[in-house]
Amino acid sequence: MSDNTNIKARRGPQSIGALIGGVIAPVCAKRGFATADLISAWSDIVGPRYATTTLPEKITWPRRDQAKAPGGATLVIRVDSGMAIYLQHETNVLLDRINGFLGFGAVTQLKIVQGVVSRPPPRVVAPPPLTKVEEQEVASTVASVESDGLREALARLGRGVYSSVKAPRQPSG
């Protein structure tokens, strides 16, 4: 029998964030991040303008012999080519936000590396179902069409028009 007296039994569902921390920790440590907090909160730190065009890659800490010299870590950020110049102009603001998140002045320099930042695919939201009245209106509108294929195509078009009018608009960009 194994000695598992110190392990608590977990009941119920757990958040993905709680489970994935142990998996991501070695990868983050290899890239200089103490935790994955900076990476997971990146969009909140940089704001909507840079959230989809930048990505923190690694933190380079000074060597031990240089540790007593003033200065902190260098954060390497991958940036889409078109946004690199804008980010360069806002380096000081970004450093303030990063250090505000970390709670101390750990990062003193940013190294901007131009490259492709992978983005998650946009979420596709299913259109809301039509009401019975709307379905009846579409059916009555296309009822006089003799061709079965054309009638069905026009009915799909009508359902699509109703759905697009009812669907909430998502901000572009």
> For residue range 76-134, what is the model confidence (pLDDT) as tens digits?
999 998 899 999 999 999 999 988 888 777 888 999 999 988 766 667 777 778 889 99
For residues 80 and 139, state if they share a domain. Answer: no
Query: What residue numbers bound the domain in which 144 lies?
Result: 132-166
What would you report as the CA-atom Rg of the chain, rounded to the nearest whole angstrom? Answer: 26
Spatial CA neighbour of 132 closest among 159, 168, 169, 150: 159
Tally the domains of the chain. Answer: 2
Query: Are 107 and 157 part of one and the same domain?
Result: no
Is there a single domain that holds both residue 145 and residue 71? no
| Structure confidence at residue 84 (pLDDT) | 92
Are 61 and 88 found together in one domain?
A: yes
Same domain for 79 and 136?
A: no
pLDDT at residue 19 tops 90: no
What are the tens digits of pLDDT across the range 63-87? Answer: 766 555 566 888 999 999 889 999 9
CA gap 76, 131 in Å, rounded? 52
Pair 54, 110 in one domain: yes
In this prediction, what percent of the chain has a pLDDT beyond 90? 31
Residue 100 sits in the same domain as residue 26 = yes
User: Taking Cα atoms as reference points, which of 38, 118, 31 lies closest to residue 80?
Assistant: 118
Residue 33: predicted pLDDT: 55
Cα separation, 10 vs 95, whole angstroms: 39
For residue 20, what is the domain's CATH number?
3.30.300
Helix or strand run (H / E) with residue 84: helix 84-89
Q: Are residue 138 and residue 95 in the same domain, yes or no?
A: no
Q: What is the structure's pLDDT at 63?
A: 74
- Where does the pLDDT of residue 173 fall: very low under 50, low under 70, confident under 90, or very high at 90 and above? very low
Q: Is residue 26 part of a domain?
A: yes
- At 25, is the pLDDT very low, low, confident or very high (cuts 50, 70, 90)? low
Interatomic CA distance for residues 77 and 73, integer angstroms: 13
Entry pTM: 0.52
- Does residue 21 sit in the same domain as residue 104? yes
In-domain check, residue 4 = no
**Within a domain: residue 3?**
no
Q: Are residues 143 and 109 in the same domain?
A: no
Tokens of 24: 């991501």
Q: Write the single-letter amino acid at 73.
A: A
Domain match, 105 and 20 both:
yes
Q: Which residue has the higher pLDDT, 166 or 144?
A: 144
Q: Do 43 and 83 sit in the same domain of this protein?
A: yes
Per the DSSP assignment, residues forming a β-bridge with 74 are 60, 109
pLDDT at 21 over 60: no
Give pLDDT tens digits for 134-163. 999 999 999 999 999 999 999 999 998 888
